[in-house]
Structure 1
Amino acid sequence: MAVSLLAREVSDLCLGKPALRSLSVSATVGDALSSLRRFGDPYLSVWSCDHHCNASRSKVSDVNECRCIGKVCMVDVICFLCEEDNLKIPGSALQEPVSVILPKVPGLVRHLEPNASLLEAIDLIVEGAQNLVIPIHSPFSRKKLIHKPSSNSTLHDNRVQYCWLTQEDIIRYLLNCIGLFSPTPNYAVESLNIIDTKSILAVCYDEPASSSLPLISQSLVKQTSVAIIDVDGKLIGEISPYVLNSCNESVAAAIATLSTGDFMAYIDCGDPPEDLIRLVKERLEERNLGEALELLEEESEISASSSDEEFGLGRSGRLGRRSSRVVRNTDAIVCFPWSSLVAVMIQALSHRVSNVWVVEEDGTLVGVVTFAGMMKVFRERLKSMI
Structure 2
Amino acid sequence: MAPNDSVETNGGIRGNTAGRRKAARYIVPVAVAGVAAATIGLVPALASTGDPDLPKITAQQLIEKIAASDTQQLSGTVKISTDLGIPSLGGLAGSFAPGDTGSAEGDSTADPQTKMTELATGTHTLRVAADGPDKQRVSILENAAEYSLIHNGDQVWAYDSKTNQAYHATEDRSGKKSGHSTPVPEDVPTTPKALAEQVLKAAGPTTSVTVDGTAQVAGRDAYKLLIKPRQSGSTIGSVTVAVDAKNGVPLKFTLLPSSGGKAAVDAGFTKVDFAKPAASSFTFTPPKGAEVTEADDAKAQQETDGAAGLGMFPGAEGLGSGDQGSKDTKVIGEGWNAIAEIRTPGGTGLPTKESGDVPAEAQQFLDSLGDKVSGKFGSGTVFKTRLVNALMTDDGKVYVGAVTPDALVKAADNAA
TM-score where L is the length of structure 2: 0.24
Q: Name the one with the larger strand percent.
A: 2
Q: Name the one with the larger helix percent.
A: 1
